[in-house]
Amino acid sequence: MTASTAAAQAPAPKPPADPAGTQFLVFFRSQPIGREEVVALRIGDEWVIRGSSRLGAPIDITTRNAEVIYDLQWRPKSLVVDAIIRGQDVSLKTTFEGGKASNVIAVQGSPQSKVDAVSADPVVLPNAFLGSYAALGKRLQGRAVGTELRAYIAPQGEVTMKITAVASERMDTPKGAFAATRYGLTVSSPPPAADLPFNLWTNADGDLLRVSIPAQTLEMAREDIASAASRTSAFSIAGDEPVQIPAVGFNLAATVTRPPKPTGKLPVVVLIGGSGPTDRDEVVAGIPVFGQLARDLVAAGFMVVRYDKRGIGQSGGRAESVTIADYAEDGRSILFWLGRQKDVDENRIALVGYGEGAGVAMLTAGRERDRVSALVLLAGIATTGAQLVIEQQRHLLSQMKIDDAQRAEKLALQERINQAVIKGTGWIDIPDSVRRVADTPWFYSFLTFNPAQAMRDVRQPVLIVQGELDTQVPPHHADELAVFARERKNKATVDVVKVPGVNHLFVPAKTGELVEYTSLGADARVSADVTSAIASWLTKTLGPASR
């Protein structure tokens, strides 16, 4: 069954209860930059998606009015956008007829025409109106993994979208909890553009709740869901207990899970998340990496603490000014809190850091040698952050259908950006939009982070775990980290586990590439080889309970 046939056979959705409009907050790099008001309703024999928005830097778009009209089979009829984009008046009027999208684009009153060939029923997604994804939410109802739809990115052209995951989740808000469906999708664009994975959440009626485009660090969420007191939960463990842990001037929201029927004081594992706006379950492409790891560690007899990063989810604090050292201070706050818990064995506390969190764990363990007994580094980097960025960029460019000169140019630009961030000078030839994204305290701290130096302060036994298909932090980093660990003066135990056939998420994969993540499916699971290796090593290293 084609997407268009399925849409035609589906019963007409009910109009929303609030036709006056739904408020959404828009985030860039986890920071709020504006809001949109969106209306999606059926009027007679048409579906109408309309709205307005005001988005600040670096996007800098004010949409005075946007409207997309479809017929009842979700075939587009017209699009109108009236906006101010980076200080210029821009309007777009598009009509759809006879397999063509006829556009009239006016910038500062100067019109130009453009005609594109389109399919019969594309979802119309103008870049200046994120609320247009409300139509996609309706179209996705009842669709299965593997379904393909077409989208018209007005006025650029048509692309293919494929559903790569469908998962049931729960959203907890101050007003109560409700069921949601998360759709993982991938947009396939003509070369040299890379495929673009994103996620979209709807309620039972297909109403849009949230859109997240990780590669663009862009997200839009309904106002109540975007609240710091709200949380999207895709995973839970029997015995999960939500707690608030005091940090410096704010609270960290965490989940503590104890093994069933514990006896005596418990060994504890604190999970420290990777880069980006990650929550306590470290959900990536719908896969709750930490949730699954916590479940297996609890089953092995450990109490596990997992928490939302500063400024993310239900945790307080501000993410825009945070550094890796600040994240280490948050880790110390959790250790201080654990020291006040009567059922915790203070002599058996381990930190497990993932990705960027491996560096955070090293810094924390180096400062709290008496509070941390063991350290597990998952996909930790062994070079400076600046070197890793270039390594990752080189890998991504090798997959793009561009010539060597273009690759060299893009690498040179990234080098200039890195050096400008580190030195604070050299921004003259770099676009302001790039500087606004890159010139941040966190990126400076990441580029200058030196794992070799951090490891010198670590005195605890160390386990290094690496997926052999990891393309984000390639396997050679594990070997180099082990060299740093073995060069320490105290000669504490160092073990390395490389797991074949798993990617950066420690999930079985075929290629390990980032674009593969969303196609791994809702049943993707962190490899038991990984979780059992961690549990066995911690059991052996932490030893018996304190008397």
Extract the runs of DSSP E, i.e. beta strands, from 289-446: 303-307, 344-354, 374-378
Is residue 6 pLDDT above 50, yes or no?
A: no
- Is the omega angle on the peptide bond into residue 192 within 30 degrees of 0, that is, cis? yes
Residue at token pair 């849009």: 208
pLDDT value, residue 1: 32
pLDDT of residue 278: 81
CA angle 319, 28, 305 (to 5 degrees): 40
**Pairwise CA distance, residues 111 & 94, whole Å:** 13
Dihedral angle at the C-alpha atoms of 47, 53, 57, 58, nearest 10 degrees?
Answer: 10
User: 8-22, 179-193, 378-392, 421-435 — which one is most confidently predicted on average?
Assistant: 378-392
Contact call for residues 144 and 222 (beta carbons, < 8 A): no
Q: What is the pLDDT of residues 529-540, one digit of tens each?
A: 999 999 999 999
pLDDT of 507 strictly over 60:
yes
> What integer pLDDT is reported at residue 224 of this predicted model?
82
508 vs 277: which has the higher pLDDT:
508
The predicted structure's pLDDT at residue 10 = 41
pLDDT, averaged across the chain: 89
Question: What integer pLDDT is reported at residue 130 of this predicted model?
Answer: 92
pLDDT band at residue 67 using 50, 70 and 90 as cut-offs: very high
The angle subtended at Cα 189 by Cα 185 and Cα 193, nearest 5°, is 115
For residues 264-277, give the mean pLDDT: 93
Q: How confident is the model at residue 234 (pLDDT cuts 50, 70, 90)?
A: low
Q: What is the pLDDT of residue 128?
A: 86
Report in angstroms the alpha-carbon separations of 481 from 259, 382, 462: 32, 5, 10
In the predicted structure, residue 474 carries a pLDDT above the cut 90: yes
Per-residue pLDDT, averaged over 483-507, amounts to 95
* Distance of alpha carbon 169 from alpha carbon 199, whole angstroms: 13
Pairing relationship of beta strands 208-213 and 240-246 according to DSSP bridges:
unpaired
pLDDT band at 190 (very low <50, low <70, confident <90, very high): low
Q: How far out from the chain centre does Cα 308 lie?
A: 13
Asked if 469 and 512 count as a contact pair (C-beta separation under 8 A), the reply is: yes
**For range 484-497, the mean pLDDT:** 95
Given a cut of 80, is residue 543 above it in pLDDT?
Answer: yes
Identity of the residue numbered 20: A
Mean per-residue pLDDT for 186-212? 84
Q: How far is Cα 161 from Cα 145, in angstroms, rounded to an integer?
A: 11
- Lowest pLDDT segment from 303-312, 399-408, 460-469, 500-509: 399-408
Residue 308 CB coordination number (10 Å): 23
What was the pLDDT predicted at 437?
Answer: 81
What pLDDT does residue 216 have?
79
Of 65-79, 374-388, 509-523, the least confident: 509-523
- Any long-range contacts for 394-402 (C-beta under 8 Å, 24+ apart)? 395/471, 395/474, 396/194, 399/194, 399/513, 400/191, 400/192, 400/194, 401/191, 401/192, 402/192
Contact 315, 252 (CB under 8 A): yes
Q: Which residues are 351's β-sheet partners?
A: 270, 375
User: Is pLDDT of 365 > 80?
Assistant: yes
Predicted confidence (pLDDT) at residue 12 exceeds the cutoff of 90: no
The predicted-structure confidence for 253-263, as pLDDT tens digits, reads as follows 999 999 998 88
Give the number of C-alpha atoms closer than 13 A to the C-alpha of residue 354, restricted to the C-beta side: 31
Which of 24-38, 96-110, 165-179 shows the highest mean pLDDT? Answer: 96-110
The dihedrals phi and psi of 315, each to the nearest 5 degrees, come to -80, 145
Q: Where are the beta strands (DSSP E) in 330-461?
A: 344-354, 374-378
Question: Which pLDDT score, from 0 to 100, does residue 432 have?
Answer: 82
Every domain of the chain and the residues it spans: 22-226, 234-384+449-542, 386-442
For the segment 363-382, the average pLDDT, to the nearest whole number, is 97
CATH of domain 234-384+449-542: 3.40.50.1820
